[in-house]
Amino acid sequence: MKETKFSMPVIFVEDIQISKKFYQNLFSLEVEMDFGQNIVFKEAFSIWEKNRAKEIIFQNKLIDQEEKRYNNVELYFETLDIQSIWEKILSSKVEIIHPIKEEAWGQRVFRVYDPDKFIIEVAEPMAEVVKRLSKLGLSRENISIKTQMALETIVHILDGNS
Rounded CA separation 98/70 (Å): 16
At residue 90, the 3 state secondary structure works out as: helix
The answer to whether 68 and 30 are in contact (CB under 8 A) is no
Question: What is the full per-residue pLDDT of the chain (162 aa) written as tens digits?
Answer: 578 888 888 988 888 999 899 888 877 889 999 988 999 999 888 998 888 888 888 776 655 555 556 667 788 999 999 999 899 889 888 899 999 999 999 999 999 888 667 788 999 999 999 999 999 999 999 999 999 999 999 999 999 865
At residue 21, the 3 state secondary structure works out as: helix
